[in-house]
DNA sequence: AGCTATACATACCCGCGGTATGTTACGCGT
DNA sequence: ACGCGTAACATACCGCGGGTATGTATAGCT
């Protein structure tokens, strides 16, 4: 067999990303071979390298898809809450969504762990800027405009809060003693409140 | 030539770690070949695999050395300050040292970026527990005993503060606008103070 | 002095990411 | 309706990388 329809092509492309996502999560990027990915779909490497220019290219596609999904959900939650409650609670609603992702093994391994190592610190930052960082930054800046946090602390606070959520996500997923969702929310809120 | 003295052996072992540290920092673990490391020292792979059981073993040795160095310095700074000032300032002194390391490219690439990806989330946590995490944890718990932070927030706060410092270190090293050492210290202090 | 374990060097293997080159049929223009 | 270019794969192959099996000479203890 050779060429299939365009619909089939799009299907195999997404199947590749699905399988890659699963394997990258369970075994890690380095310990996952392209052969392995192809065998799971009963296709050959020719197909994979037709859809993606390299193994890193496939990873980047997976990474982007996951980040975009998170970004959309977090942004939607924050905007929805903004119309109902105060800006402070709206910001927390967005952070809640992000924290949910940061506790998922998928997101941890692909976005938080393997991502920086493969894309490089610089590349990771540039790509994350549009999807992760900017959201938090905009949220904090919004709080600043509403007088919730001091203006000169906005930038430093943004990077620290995002990282704090990452760490909390890891701690939650490993079910570390003394670390519960409630205690994290509580501590996080206190930290934000302190910055006026 | 073949076997050298024990002193020579120890020297080549440390030279291997030195070169590996430099290459892992500048090119990353994945893009550094063992041949490359050996060529820089004019030795063969036989020597490297005699001293370290694998490439990962070499990385782990480099990782441990760096972490131990940081741990010693941070612990010393905190203990020294504890006798001179209040517990709160002593804790900050330790955090200051950690933040200094978190802004060094060496530490970023090897410990913070490549470390989790190579050692795995679980392995990374277990090994970091003795060197990085426990320090912060002990510091926060100490603050709790002194009444600076609420006891039920100790665990959640510890993981979040450490991660916050990581993020701040990256932001500082990339010289992000609006993020200065002073603004980070300022924001960090506010966050700690808020947790009583 | 002699033996053994150490500190390397040499030679080799295999699996990996990547490429160059097919081969088939879809779908678009005419 | 019919070519026909090109998309969607398959096949065969390459080079390099981590790792190993084996050799070898000397340091250092008995």
Find chain B residues with C-beta within 8 A of A183's C-beta: 152-153, 155-156
| d(C-alpha B17, C-alpha B66), whole Å | 10
- Contacts with B177 (C-beta within 8 Å, 6 or more apart), sequence order: A155
Tokens of A166: 């990452």
Supply the pLDDT for residue A19: 98
> How remote is the C-alpha of B95 from its chain's centroid?
12
Closest-lying nucleotide for B44 based on CA to C1': C9
Under 8 Å between Cβ of A60 and A74: no
CB hemisphere CA count around A161 (13 angstroms): 36
Find chain B residues with C-beta within 8 A of A113's C-beta: 116-117, 121
Residue B172 Ramachandran class (φ > 0 left, ψ -120 to 50 alpha, else beta):
alpha
* Separation of B14 CA and D19 C1' (Å): 22
Q: How many residues does chain B have?
A: 196
| d(C-alpha B126, C-alpha B63), whole Å | 13
CA dihedral over B146, B148, B153, B155, signed as positive or negative: negative
Name residues 56-75 of chain A with a Cβ under 7 Å from nucleic strand D: none
* Separation of B140 CA and D23 C1' (Å): 57
Find chain B residues with C-beta within 8 A of A138's C-beta: none
Per-residue pLDDT of chain B (196 residues; tens, 9 = 90+): 566 777 788 999 999 999 999 999 999 999 999 999 999 999 999 999 999 999 999 999 999 999 999 999 999 999 999 999 998 899 999 999 999 999 999 999 999 999 999 999 999 999 999 898 999 999 999 999 999 899 999 999 999 999 999 999 999 999 999 999 999 999 999 888 877 6
Backbone angles phi, psi at A148, to 5 degrees: -80, -40
pTM of the predicted model, to two decimals?
0.95
| Tens-place pLDDT, residues B110-150 | 999 999 999 999 999 999 998 989 999 999 999 999 998 99
Smallest CA–CA distance, residue B147 to chain A, in Å, is 16
Supply the pLDDT for residue A195: 78
Smallest CA–CA distance, residue B112 to chain A, in Å, is 9
Q: Is the CB of B148 under 7 A from strand D?
A: no
| d(C-alpha A43, C-alpha A15), whole Å | 11
Cβ–Cβ gap A166/B163 under 8 Å: yes
| Tens-place pLDDT, residues A46-91 | 999 999 999 999 999 999 999 999 999 999 999 999 999 988 899 9
Q: Which residues of chain A have pLDDT under 50?
A: none
Supply the pLDDT for residue B7: 76
Supply the pLDDT for residue B132: 87
Find chain B residues with C-beta within 8 A of A162's C-beta: 167
Nearest to B108 among A121, A187, A190 (CB): A121
* Separation of A159 CA and C21 C1' (Å): 50
Closest-lying nucleotide for B5 based on CA to C1': D27
* Separation of A39 CA and C25 C1' (Å): 24
Smallest CA–CA distance, residue B152 to chain A, in Å, is 7
Closest-lying nucleotide for B13 based on CA to C1': C7
Of A114, A94, A97, A96, nearest in space to A105 by CA: A114
- Helix/strand/coil (H, E, C) string of chain B? CCCCCHHHHHHHHHHHHHHHHHHHHHHCCCCCCHHHHHHHHCCCHHHHHHHCCCHHHHHHHHHHHHHHHHHHHHHHHHHHHHHHCCHHHHHHHHHHHHHHHHCCHHHHHHHHHHHHHHHHHHHHHHHHHHHHHHHHHHHHHHHHHCCCCCHHHHHHHHHHHHHHHHHHHHHHHCCCCCCCHHHHHHHHHHHHHCCC
- Beta-carbon count within 10 A of A2 CB: 3
């Amino acid at each position: 067999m050779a060429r299939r329809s365009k619909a089939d092509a799009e299907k195999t492309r997404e199947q590749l990303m699905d399988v890659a996502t699963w394997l990258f999560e369970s075994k890690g990027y380095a310990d996952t071979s392209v052969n392995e990915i192809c065998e799971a779909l009963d296709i050959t490497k020719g197909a994979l390298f037709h859809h993606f220019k390299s193994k890193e290219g496939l990873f980047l596609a997976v990474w982007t898809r996951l980040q975009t999904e998170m970004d959309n959900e977090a942004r939607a939650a924050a905007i929805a809450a903004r119309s109902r409650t105060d800006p402070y609670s709206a910001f927390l609603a967005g952070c809640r969504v992000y924290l949910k992702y940061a506790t998922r093994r998928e997101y941890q391994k692909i976005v938080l762990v393997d991502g920086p190592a493969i894309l490089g610190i610089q590349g990771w930052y540039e790509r994350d800027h549009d999807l992760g960082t900017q959201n938090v930054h905009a949220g904090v800046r919004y709080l600043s405009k509403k007088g919730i946090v001091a203006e000169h602390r906005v930038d430093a606070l943004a990077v620290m809060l995002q990282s704090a959520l990452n760490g909390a996500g890891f701690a939650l997923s490993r079910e570390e003693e003394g670390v519960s969702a409630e205690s994290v929310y509580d501590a996080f809120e206190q930290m934000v409140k302190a910055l006026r």
